[in-house]
Amino acid sequence: MRLLVLGGTRFVGRALVEQAAALGHQVTTFNRGRTGQDVPGVEAVRGDRENAADLHALVTGREWDWVVDTSGYVPRVVGNAARLLSGRAGAYIFLSTVSVYPEWPAEPVDEASETYECSPDTPGTAEGEANWTAAQYGAYKVGCEHAVQEAFEGQVALLRPGVILGPLENVGRLTWWLTRIARGGRVLAPGDARKPIQPIDIRDLTAFTLSCLENGITGTFNITAPKDHATFGGLLNACQAVTGSDAELTWVSDEFLIEQKVRQWTEIPLWRTPLGTWTVDSAKATAAGLACRPIEETVRDTCAWLSESGGPLAYGRQAHHGLSPERERELLELWDHR
């Protein structure tokens, strides 16, 4: 199968290209070459999707069976590329996000839940994407979805992942927890150890994406692990096991952390109290073939990748994640005094 990946050098894009190439697909990537190395054995075309001349150079003399867009953030930019690719590819997969739902994370959501409103012609640039608010990020992704659906004359699949973990992760969530627990000592563990979580392993996301390609699956899908797939305690225990750490987990209540104005989701990665955070309905994707590996496997393989690679590529969101040692000690001391 001939596959064009818009992006393809970091995180989801790179994992997808590596997996597609390993399966024997003929892969072309289109990117600026600024955020990572090309996957060996693929055709790498340099260019900026915000530049019309670069897009025209990409499509000249080339056709594909599928396009997978892993790096689309600005509606007008995504639409311009989709219009040009329409007629040169049979189908289009757009990697969106569960953040398209304004009710999330306050309330549970499924594919029928209301999304933000955003014009498919909304202009802008993706340079500052790592610092966008969640609402701006989600709204722009909605505009991108509309842009693809309006511009592309062919089959379209919209994939809306929740939290993505695993090897190549560059956001700084699981990687922060592994590094912190490996350091040992008392570790502030947030909330209830039994709290269900439903992150998706990057390799399960890319496997489902390729299954959509190979089987002609289109439509809109939330992509998360099932609601009973794992717990926060299971995640942190797995981090202890793979690092061989003597860390002592001290579970601190949600109410205390809220009182202390700890930033949810970032200052303590993956900790968030609203009801809908880990109640995203992905039954539709499961019925279409999405399979999720155990969280212990995700943690083990991420730890191995960290040891072998030296860590993720630089990315703006990394700086947003994690308690400082001083802040953690302060919170634990306050907790002890209670």
> What percent helix, strand, coil does the chain show, rounded to 5?
40, 20, 40
The mean pLDDT of 62-88, rounded to a whole number, is: 95
Residue 328: is its pLDDT beyond 70? yes
pLDDT in tens, 46-70: 999 999 999 999 999 999 999 999 9
pLDDT of 125 = 86
- b/e burial code for range 193-215 (CB count within 10 A of at least 16 → b): eebbbbbbbbbbbbbbbbebbee
Helix, strand, or coil here: 159? strand
Would you place residue 306 in the very low, low, confident or very high pLDDT band (cuts 50, 70, 90)? very high
Domain covering 174-198+227-278+293-337 in this structure, CATH number: 3.90.25
Ramachandran sector of residue 75 (left: φ over 0; alpha: ψ -120 to 50; beta: rest): alpha
CATH class of 2-161: alpha beta
CA 34 – CA 57 distance, rounded (Å): 19
- Return the pLDDT at 74: 96
CA dihedral over 224, 226, 228, 234, signed as positive or negative: negative
Strand partners, 300: none
> Per-residue b/e over 71-101, b at no fewer than 16 CB within 10 Å?
bbbbbbbbbbbbbbbeeebbbbbbbbbbbbb
Show me where the domains of the chain are located.
2-161, 174-198+227-278+293-337
105 prior amide bond cis, ω within 30: yes
- How far apart are the C-alpha atoms of 128 and 13, rounded to whole Å? 19
Local confidence band at 282 (pLDDT 50, 70, 90 cut-offs): very high
Percent of the chain with pLDDT over 90: 86
Q: Is the pLDDT of residue 121 over 90?
A: yes
Mean pLDDT, range 215-235, rounded to an integer? 96
Alpha carbon distance 202, 15 (integer Å): 7
Question: How does pLDDT run across 241-278, given as a tens digit for each residue?
Answer: 999 999 999 999 999 999 999 999 999 999 999 999 99
Which residue do the tokens 């594919």 mark? Answer: 111
- Interval 125-162: pLDDT, tens: 887 777 788 899 999 999 999 999 999 988 999 999 99
**Element spanning 5, H or E:** strand 2-6
Residue 313 has pLDDT above 70, yes or no: no
How many angstroms separate the CA atoms of 164 and 229, rounded?
A: 14
What per-residue confidence (pLDDT) applies to 10?
86
The residues facing 264 across adjacent strands are 268
Whole-structure pTM value = 0.94
CB 41 within 8 A of CB 21: yes
The backbone torsions φ and ψ at residue 178, rounded to the nearest 5 degrees and listed phi first, read -60, -45
What is the average pLDDT score of the chain?
94
Return the structure tokens found at 230.
């794992």
Quick check: 72 and 142 in contact, CB under 8 A? no
Q: Report whether pLDDT(33) > 90.
A: no
Mean pLDDT along residues 305-329: 78
Q: Is residue 36's pLDDT more than 90?
A: no
Q: What pLDDT does 146 receive?
A: 98
- Residue 317 pLDDT > 70: no
